[in-house]
Chain A
Amino acid sequence: MKKADLSVQVGKLKFRNPVLLASGTVGYGNEMSEFIDLNSIGGIVTKSLSLKPRKGNPPQRIVETPAGMLNAIGLQNVGVEEFIKEKIPFLKKFNVPLICNIAASTYEEYVECTKILTREDAITAFEINVSCPNVKEGGLQFGNDVKAVGKITAGVKAVTNKPIIIKLSPNVSYISHFAKVVKEEGGDAVSAINTLVGTAFNIITRKPKIHNVNGGLSGPAIKPIALAKVLEIKQSVDIPIIGIGGIMNWQDVIEFMIAGSSAIQLGTVNFIDPYAAVTIIKGLEDFCMKQGIEKISELTGSYII
């Protein structure tokens, strides 16, 4: 039987399969490459970068919750300069689309980071993180403000020819309003969702379990919410969607594609099973064969409601 075509298109971006590794769960590729052949996956989204290095939040940064985890890493990263000098040479060795995630504290910083990084041929596209819940300034603040998201989209588009994906926050009433402004300002795609704001307390000390008090909830606990957000965007805005949120196996990927995703990102599962991407891609292949699906992209938005 003929092998199914797993390749997908997200706007101008072409991936060999719909399985990308989410920002903050793949570092800069080196640790993951010890487990899997990075050339076999759809793409890599690197850890959020800011203009200057960020130390990140003090411990405790993570706590496990039922079927999920809270994290407040605080965008610890090496900064743009070291990324170019130290990390890109390693990532260049692979034949895998590299999506560079940018998280900034100000509008100007988003634009400046994009301007510098767009000169790097190794970078295929940018994912703009307007929705990190764990830093005091910027992040969530931008993600909650439709006008700010529009302004950032237009600002970064103006300084690069590379595709721009805006990573949306689920901590809003109508995520589709944000997707709409991204499209209006020329954004190429959206990724949804980032983590949900959550917290947890120690019942003896009565203190939050996370130093930052709040963290971002991820893992299978958030999957139904993520699916609903993807569906909401799909039903109201004509923009490619990269689905994210608690994907643990190939069945979850199919579900996200049916709800409207053109591609997906694996996040928390990488911490538990660094081989997950490879297992999932194999599962998708087998599913398509069994179901007689010639092109997996047929599944995108194929829901029957």
Chain B
Amino acid sequence: MDIESPAKLIELLDRHAYLADEGLATAAFLALRMGRPLFLEGEAGVGKTELAKTLAALLRAPLIRLQCYEGLDAAQALYDWDFARQLLHLKAAEAAGITDADRLEGEIYDRRFLIARPLLKAIETQPSVLLVDEIDRADDEFEAFLLEVLSDFTISIPELGTIRAATPPVVVVTSNRTREVHDALKRRCLYHWLEHPGFDREVAILRRRLPGCTETLATQVAGTAARLRQAGLVKPPGVAETLDWTEALLTLGAKELDPDLAAATLGAALKYREDVTAVIGNGLLSHG
């Protein structure tokens, strides 16, 4: 697909119901053109993961997702040998009286006994979009290891040789910034800090994503969300949460945001009991 400018990418993303601003579109455009990973940082729910999904849809490429967590290791991220099948194969060879160790070794370290985990899968699948989600949750050793893969898009497997991507996958790395990611990894990437959208953009997003949503409801929800983000909550709602909340309101047939309905559906927007109590206690739902 030919995407000749950031403006064109904004248009294409819009067709897939993702409203990107100039900065994010330029970031994604350069990532596609330069073959560089895109490092998206920002609070939870500002649309980091969603961008990767939309890019995959737009490029008609499968989305391969690696969710990071503490203790994530190579066997979960890269590849693993299928132990059970290898053993079966050895048993079968034993029964057939084959004892030639070299031949057996060649057979059991064959590609068909290799289980591809997300990073290897992304390198083998073309085209593909690789989403490395919440890198800040993984251990810092994992970063070093990811940097190695993202630098030349090759994976070397001692028993099998080196597997190289003919064309590198589109890579989106996201972080909620619960810790600082190593500079070497960031330097390899295009760095973009995603903010909560402004009021107008959020209204536009709600209307674009939820066809049943009236202008009135979208305006009221976005206005309330903006107030909630100023209220010093444990977890201020992101766009993902306002979308869920509006959907919940629509399901209940709301045409506009009345305080009772808002309170009943607040669980879609706020995920901490303290926050719900604070918001209702301070009367933040009665819009003025």
Question: Are these two chains actual partners, yes or no?
Answer: no
Binding site for B on A (CB under 8 A): none
